[in-house]
Structure formats: C-alpha cells, structure tokens
Amino acid sequence: MIRLRLERRAETPAWMHVALPVLAVIATLILCSALVAMAGAPVLDAYGFLFLSTFQTLYDVQDTLVKASPLIWTGLAVAVAFRAKFWNIGAEGQLIAGAMAAGFIGQRTWLPAPTLIPLMFLGAMVAGAAWALIPALLKVKLKVDDVVTTLLFNSILLYALMALLEGPWKDPVSNYPNSPMIREEAQFPILAGDTLHMGVAISFVAAIVVWWLMERTTLGFSIKAVGANPRAAAYSGLSVARVLLGAAAISGALAGLAGAGEVGGIRYQVVSDLSSGYGYAGIVIATLADLNPLGVIPAALFFAIIMNGADAMSHETNVPVYLANVIQGVALLTMVGGRLFASYRLRITRASMEVSRG
C-alpha cells in the first residue's frame, strides 16, 4: 500500500521565496484564463492588453508608478501588521483617515506655505495610526477580535466621510459631494512627466526604510518575535501588548500615507471614492511579498499593471474589467496554498500494514 505523507521541511529554501510568488502568479493567470475564454475573448490577446497596454508610452509607465504608490503603502501597512499577527484588514479605512487629515491640513489658509506638505504627511500618519490604534486597543484590552473591528472600521469611516462631504466639508461652489481644493502650495511637486508626484518616490523609499526597520532594529525584531510566538516573547521580557500597539500604529501610519498621496498628489481634494479597494489589495500584495517590505515593491507594481491594464483590456476585448478583482483573490489563495507546499515536502512511502496512528 502506498501512502502519501506530508512532512514539514526544516527550513524553506531561499530560492523558494522568489520562485513561489512567481509560480503563484503564473498559476493565477492560468486559472483566470478560463474566465477570459468564457467571456469570449482570445486569452493571449486579452492578457496582451492586460499587461502590455501599460508599457506602450512613457505616460503609461508613469501611470503605473502612480497607481503602485498607494498599493506600496497599503502593502507595507499590512506586512508590518501581519508580522505582529495584528490582523489589520482596515488599511482601507486608515487610508481614508490619512486622506481626511491631509485634505483638512492642505486647505488651511493660516498655515505657512512651506509647512503644508510636511504637516499633511504628519497629519496623515497620525490619523491613520489613530484609526488603527482603536481596534488594536480593543484587542489588547478587551480581547475583541481585530479582524472584525478593523473591517467594520472601514465602513464606519467611509460613511462618516460621506456625511462630512455632504455637510460641513462640502465645497460650497460644487454640486458634487467634494471638499474644496487644497491650496496650490499643498499640491505635491511633480517630479517627472505630468502625474509622477513626490509621494510616489517617497513610497518606494519607504519600502526600504520599513525593510530596515523590520530587519535591522530592535523594534522590528520585537514585532517579529511577538508575531511568531507571543508567549515566548512575553517570557523573554517583551511587553506583547505594547509591541502589538506599536505595530498597529506603524501599520496605520503607512496606510494613512497612501491617503495623503491620493489627496496631495492626484485629486487635490477629498472625495469619497479615493480608494478603489487599495486597502484590500494591500493584503494580497503583502501576502504575495511573503510579508517582506522589499517584496512589496514588485507585488505592488504587478497589481498596478493589472488594475490599469484591465481598463484597456475590457475596452478592447469585452472581458469585464472585474477580471482584475478575480485575479487578486485567486493570487492570494494560490500564494497561501503554494506557501504551504513550500513548507512541506510530499513523501511517498510504502507501508505494508496500517501504521499505528501517530
């Protein structure tokens, strides 16, 4: 009798950390090609538009980089939180918190012009961190499940923003529920082309800073220790609650910066549809990056390409634009499934008799 057994590997080989996400993406595209075919489009044509349309001109590349920026922020936010096993599904709401703060500060006429942009960044970080700290405090103090609270916090803040935009925050001269424009001095400088703003460059640098923070500092070490084994971390003298709150604050601040980038670099005002699911995409990106801050950059670029390319694809081939959403879901699931196979080894053994239960 042949038995299949799963054995846990002692260590995941290094090459797998790179190969795994690549394989997961390939598997995702193969699985999703069935949907493309069902929509009646030639698979290669559709995928051609999905990927190549974002490389046709320098403007397309610039748009991809701009799109990647909020994804890098939310990917980093989720990567830090998940390392500490703080299940932050709330990057979407923390992004909105950051955007609200940045928009509010950017409109203040009494602030000296040179302080506007730094204060917008700072305000977005504080607001995002605060919105993440409430669920974290509820988890630490009252043991309320963080998944549910962070999720519900997204809806709560979105409705609050919508109410503000139809009330006190509404631009009096506009018919739409938008805030007034931020001051001209509050608009992020354009670095190249016509949309590549300063926030994009900062997000790429931030990925390196967060990597350094997680890999080279005591704080990063504590976050990873608490996530890996809270009991052992507590035994070695770490305050699990404080580390968790710290991770939540950093995570929220990073997500908040995504909001600052959208308001200060793209929209120049606060609107209710600032994020097209960037917070949730952050979960997929962080997972695909194996929670490594440096890996967040390629993962975010990949999804930026798909999000921008899906528009071109649906325009040209009638494949619904929502293929991009499906790809996100499938990529997340194939990645976590694949990681499991990477950490286990399939053993085929011959057993002549029923082996006693281990």
User: Where does this chain bind another protein (CB under 8 A)?
Assistant: 5-6, 35, 38-39, 87, 89, 138, 142-145, 147-149, 151-153, 155-156, 159-160, 162-163, 166-167, 280, 283-284, 287, 320-330, 332-333, 336-337, 340, 357-358
CB closer to another protein out of 43 and 202: 43
- The distance in angstroms from the start CA to the end CA of the chain is 18
In degrees, to the nearest 5, what angle opens at C-alpha 307 toward C-alphas 178 and 49? 130
User: Least distance from C-beta 45 to another protein, angstroms?
Assistant: 17
Q: What is the DSSP string of 204-235?
A: HHHHHHHHHHHHHSHHHHHHHHHHH-HHHHHH
CB closer to another protein out of 196 and 284: 284
Q: 143 in the Ramachandran plot: left (φ > 0), alpha (ψ -120 to 50) or beta?
A: left
User: Least distance from C-beta 332 to another protein, angstroms?
Assistant: 4
As beta bridge partners, residue 7 has 345
Nearest to 289 by CA among 305, 304, 277, 300: 300
CB closer to another protein out of 125 and 161: 161
**Distances in whole angstroms, Cα of residue 223 to Cα of each of 138, 220, 239:** 19, 5, 10
CB closer to another protein out of 28 and 203: 28
CB closer to another protein out of 34 and 44: 34
d(CA 261, CA 202): 9
User: Least distance from C-beta 96 to another protein, angstroms?
Assistant: 13
CB closer to another protein out of 187 and 287: 287
